[in-house]
Structure 1
C-alpha cells in the first residue's frame, strides 16, 4: 500500500500526546491508513507564556509517542507553523502532498484554539478535504452541561450536580487503541531536543517528569492502588506525597480524563459520589478541571485576560515592581510562600494548596493584579493549562467564578502552621532555616532571630495589608457575594 491511497487519514496531534484512549486517532485509524502530524509553533507558545519545561515535556513525549506509533506503522511527521495563523496553509500543503481524504483532531477550547481550528476546517473543506473534530479532553462537551435557563454554570457545586446526573445515566467510555496497519512508504520525522526561544530545563527537573504513556499509566495505577484512599486527608500537606502527580500528563494529554475517572471508579466499586471519600474527592478535582474548561467556552473573556466578574476590573491594583520581584524570586520573608515559589522554580510544579496560598498573598496582601501571577505561573509550570491556571488565579483573587469571598483571605502563617506543622516542607526548600525549631520556622522574624541565617524580614505586614485589601474590595462599585469554597 503506498502513500497515494485515496482513503488516507491524517490525525493532527495537539494536547493529546498518547496512543491509548485517543478519540481522533482511533477514528482516523478506523477509516483508513493513517499518518500523524504535530505542528511546532514556537511564536504562538511564547505569546501564550508556555513554560520552557512544558515545551521540553511535549518534545520528550512526542519522542515516546513516535516510537509507540511506529510499532503500529503510523508515521509521525513534524511540521512548523511558527504562529497558528500559518496552520491552515501548512496542513493543506501536507494533505495535498499525501492525498489525504480527512483530517482528524481532538477539540481544544481557548479562543485562539477555536479560531485556529475553524480556519483550518474552512481551508480544507474548500479543497474537498474533510475535517472531523471529537470530544476527547473532557468528559462532557461544553454546551451540554447547562443551567435550567440554558446558560453555562458559574457555581461549581451546581455544575457538579448536573455532571453527577449525567454520569449516573452514562459513563464516558474509553476508546479502543488502533491496531497495526500495513506499512506506508512514509518515514517518521526526527524530533528535535529543543525549540528556538525555549531553554532546556535542568536534568533534575526532567528526571521528575519522565515522558511517555507508560509513566503516566504507572503513576495513575500507583495512585489508584495505594494512595487514593488517603487523598482527602493528605492532599493538603505539601511535605507528604498525597497527590497523584498526574497534572502535567493530563495537560499534555499523555493520559486522558476518562482513564483517570475509570481508575478512580475501579478503586471505589464503581461509585463516584459515595463510598471511599478519597476517590470521591479526587473525582471532584477532575470535575473542577472540567468546570474551568467549560468556563473558557461559555465566558470567552477569561481567555482574553479579563476578569470573570467585570466589576472587579475596577480594582485599584498596586504597581509594586519590587514586591512582585520579591514574590517571584522567593524572598518575601514568609517561609511558606518562599518555599512554595522555590518548589515552582526548581521543579516546574507547585502543590495545589500552596498555589492558593501564594496567589492570595500576591493578590490580597500585596494587592498586585492576579494577571501578573497568572503569567508568572504559566511561564514556569510544566502542567500550565490556561483554563485551570486562570480559574485558580481568579478564584484566589476573588475576581472569578465561584470564587473565595473577598473577605476570606488565607493567612500564610496559619496555613503554614496547619499544613506544614513540623516545617518539613519549608526546611526542604529553604535549607537556611533548617536550624529553627518547629515554632520559629514559620515566622523567623517573630522569634527575634533578626535575619535568621541570612533570611529576609517579611516584605509586608500581614494584618495591615489584609485591611488594605478589604478596603479596596469594599470600594468596588458592586460588591461581590461569596460562592462555594474550593478547598
Structure 2
C-alpha cells in the first residue's frame, strides 16, 4: 500500500481556518494527512518590539485556532524557538520527523521573515516540496508597477493601477476545508501555550468568529457614516479591525467581499464611506508592496535619503513626557493614554501624535515607530513604518515637511467639545468646552489649580525650528 502524503501547514499571521490559502491548498488532497504548526519566537518578538498585548492576542487566537482545527481533525503543534532563523531549523526538523511530503505557508513580506522562509526552503530542498501563497495581500507585491516596471512612489497612481488589476482577478474567499474523516480525532490545545509576561486580557476578543461578527457589524452599521465619523475620536466610527487583520483572524478578501455585498456599487462613488474604507485597505497594500520593493525600509532607513541628515534633538525627557501622555497638549496626551491603556489608537490621532513627536519635539521618527510597536495590539511593521515615515516627511508620498499640524487647532477640529479628552484625561473634567484645548488659559483666568502639566513646547517656535532643520538637511 502506498504511504499517504503528509502535508504540514505552517501558520504565521494567518490564524484562521476560513479563506486561508495555505490551509485550503494543503487540504485539497483528500488522502493526505494534514498537520499544522506555529512557531513562537520570543527573542525575535523582543527584537521587533512586539507589544505584550499583541503577544497575548496571538496566544488567545492560537487557542481558538486549535479548536477550529480540532473540528477538522487537524492537530496543531506549537514550537518555541528563539529567532526566525532558529524557527526555520525547527520547521525543517518537524518535516523530517513526520516525513512531510509538502510544506504550505502564506508569504510574509518583511525582510527577516523572507530570509527565514528562504532558509527553510533551502533546508528542505529535494526532501519536501514547499508551496507558498500570497494570502495577506490582494495582489502579490511586484505586480502593481509603472510602465517602466518600477514600484509606484505616490499612492494615487498606485491605487489606480491596483484597481485595474484587482478586477481582472478572482477575489472570492475560500471556504473552510472539509473535515478530514480519515484522520483521528484530536483535542484542542490547553493554555498556556507559551509564557506571557502580561496576563491582563487584551481589549479585543481574539477569535475568528468575533472578527467576522465585527466586520459584518461595521459594514452594516458604520460604513454609511465612515467618511464623516472616522476622524472623530470620541465616536466609535472606525472599523477597529486592524488587530484582526494584522494576525490574520480576518482576511482582506473577507473584508472586500463583505463590503461589496453590503454596497455593491461603492466603487462608482469615491466619496462613499465604503470607498473611503476600501481606500484604507489599499494603503495597507501599498505599504506591504513598498517593503518588498525597498528592503532598506525594514532596516529603518528613511525612504527619502536626504532626511537621514536631519539633526534631531532627541531629548529623552521630552520623549518620556510624550510616551506618558504628559506633554500639556490635551489631544496628544489623551491619545497616548488611549494607546498605553488599550493597545490601540484612533487613526487620526496616530498622525497627530507622530507629527507632534517629530516636528514639535524634533525627535527621530524611529523612536516613535519603536514605541508604537511596543504598545500596539495591531502592530504591523509595514503599516507602522509607512505611517511614521509619512508623518516624518521621510517616506514615499509623505506629507510635505513644511506642513505641520498644530495640536491645539487639530484638537478643536476633531474633538470640539473635548469629549474624547475628558474620557482619557479625567483631571480636565471641570474645564469648560471653550478652554478644553488650552486648559491652563482657563486656570489662569479663574484662579483654578490644575493637576496637569504645562505645554512642554511652544508650538509656533517649534514649527519654525522644524522647518529650518529640514531645510538645512535638504541643502
TM range (shorter): over 0.9
Distance in 1 (CA, whole Å) between partners of 2:448 and 2:340 is 23
| Contact 1:332–1:457 (CA under 8 A) maintained in structure 2 | yes
1:400 aligns with 2:395: yes
Counterpart among 333, 343, 359 of residue 338 in structure 1: 333
For residues 166-200 of structure 1, the C-alpha deviation after alignment (integer angstroms, 9 at most, x for no partner) is 1232342212221100253585673543744x522
Distance in 2 (CA, whole Å) between partners of 1:452 and 1:370 is 34
Q: Which residue of 2 aligns with 1:226?
A: 221
TM-score by length of 1: 0.94
User: Is the partner of 1:34 in helix, strand or coil?
Assistant: strand
Deviation at 1:443, TM superposition (A): 1.2
Counterpart among 425, 443, 464 of residue 461 in structure 2: 464
1:325 aligns with 2:320: yes
The list of structure 1 runs, each at least 4 consecutive aligned residues, that deviate by more than 4 angstroms after superposition, is 185-189
For residues 140-189 of structure 1, the C-alpha deviation after alignment (integer angstroms, 9 at most, x for no partner) is 00010001110111100010000111123234221222110025358567
User: Is the partner of 2:78 in helix, strand or coil?
Assistant: strand
For residues 88-119 of structure 1, the C-alpha deviation after alignment (integer angstroms, 9 at most, x for no partner) is 32112211221211000000000000000000
Q: Which residue of 2 aligns with 1:132?
A: 131
* Pair 148,201 (structure 1): closer, same or farther in 2 beyond 3 Å: farther
User: Is the partner of 1:454 in helix, strand or coil?
Assistant: coil
Distance in 2 (CA, whole Å) between partners of 1:354 and 1:106 is 32
- CA-based RMSD: 1.7
Q: Which residue of 2 aligns with 1:482?
A: none
Counterpart among 334, 340, 349 of residue 344 in structure 2: 349
Q: Which residue of 1 aligns with 2:433?
A: 438
Distance in 1 (CA, whole Å) between partners of 2:373 and 2:213 is 26
User: Is the partner of 2:145 in helix, strand or coil?
Assistant: coil
Distance in 2 (CA, whole Å) between partners of 1:5 and 1:182 is 17
Q: Which residue of 2 aligns with 1:485?
A: none
Distance in 1 (CA, whole Å) between partners of 2:67 and 2:421 is 41
Q: Give runs of aligned pairs for residues 79-478 of structure 1, distance below 5 A.
A: 79-126=79-126, 128-184=127-183, 187=186, 190-193=189-192, 195-196=194-195, 198-203=196-201, 206=202, 208-274=203-269, 277-449=272-444, 452-477=449-474
Question: How many aligned positions are there?
Answer: 471
Deviation at 1:447, TM superposition (A): 2.4
| Contact 1:56–1:194 (CA under 8 A) maintained in structure 2 | no
Which sections of structure 2, spanning at least 5 residues, go unmatched? none
User: Is the partner of 2:18 in helix, strand or coil?
Assistant: coil
Q: Which residue of 2 aligns with 1:23?
A: 21
Deviation at 1:129, TM superposition (A): 0.5
TM-score by length of 2: 0.96
